[in-house]
Amino acid sequence: MTGPDTAAVLPAVVPAADAALLPALGIDIGGTKVAGGVVAPDGTILDTARRATPGKSVSATEDAIAAVVDELAERHGGPLVGVGVGAAGWFDRTGDTVLFSPHLAWRNQALRKDLAVRLQRPLWVGNDADAAAWAEYRYGAARSSDLVVMITLGTGIGGGLVIDGRLQRGAHGVAGEWGHMRVVPDGRLCACGNRGCWEQYASGNALGHTAREVADNSPAAAADLLDRVGGDAARITGEVVATAAADGDPLAVELLCEVGTWLGQGIADLSAILDPDVVVIGGGVSVLGETVLAPARERLERALPGRGFRPGPRVAAAQLGAQAGLVGAADLVRRAVVDGDA
């Protein structure tokens, strides 16, 4: 286990002048796994490791993080800038404290302080979608753009914001929670406690929810979906619908287009506020590509405020996939060391 007793065998702190030229460790913590990678300054992943996430235990989750760091550092052998950690959850502005994590045991947890003691390395700690947004800005679909909105489209909707080369966390650290914009007054109940949130209409969960409603109300229309789940409508998920759409089921394709239309409406609303030059769509649902993105662009074109008199944002699929979080976290700790903030 990494901790104060092992500090003597760890590499010396890398001088800031050298940090920009050296690899860093990136860690991406999800509900089921702790994934880590050694990431070169050009964004190339040199090595990876993972452990299961023991989500109900704070100390066991930190053990898993430390184990991944130890494994990668030992195999790498050379100097590493530090460790960047991205996790699903709401962080305070500094990144020191996890205010809340929906899939992990952290509640007002001083994660940065705890990991600093365990790892004895420079750290960056923050939201995984922020890290993914930074990765796409640095190495992916939004490379060098002035104002980047990242939308992570998965079970829910999250994201990040990069303006003029700086990751924006917001006044309280929780910027980028796009999924909780209210788009339907008194609409579907959301886990956040409000009704009508965007992620209730444009996400993997929304896709499954709508499909189950159709199956309950019109079993004949949803015959293919019901066949896939043994006739039990309650077992229809967004993944089931996506698979059916890939196989050409007309209802599944229609439901994906509906998700895309809601996605485009939300992008139009964000564009009215932020005026981004690019909106990057990542997350699990994004792998469906143009099935979702084409109707999103069509809706954006029709719903953009001032359409016809102003340009809208480019809408692009994320390029770094599931590894964006760890790549971004690694680069953020590298940047923090160079700037003297780690």
Cβ-contact 96, 67 below 8 angstroms: no
Of residues 43, 17, 33, the one with CA closest to residue 327: 43
Write out pLDDT tens, residues 245-257.
999 999 999 999 9
pLDDT of residue 8: 32
Q: Quick one: which H or E segment has residue 84? A: strand 83-87
Write out pLDDT tens, residues 33-57.
899 999 999 999 999 999 988 767 8
Q: What is the pTM of this model?
A: 0.89
Write out pLDDT tens, residues 270-290.
999 999 999 999 987 777 888
Q: What mean pLDDT do residues 278-305 have?
A: 91
pLDDT at residue 73 tops 90: yes
Cβ-contact 22, 79 below 8 angstroms: yes
| Dihedral sign for Cα atoms in the order 268, 272, 274, 275 | positive
The SS3 call for residue 156 is coil
Of residues 99, 93, 103, the one with CA closest to residue 130: 93
Of residues 291, 315, 293, 296, the one with CA closest to residue 243: 291
Whole-number average pLDDT of the chain: 90
Q: What is the DSSP letter of 13?
A: P
pLDDT above 70 covers a percentage of the chain that reads 96
Beta-carbon contacts of residue 11 (< 8 Å; ≥ 6 apart):
73, 78, 79, 80
Write out pLDDT tens, residues 189-211.
998 889 999 999 999 999 999 99
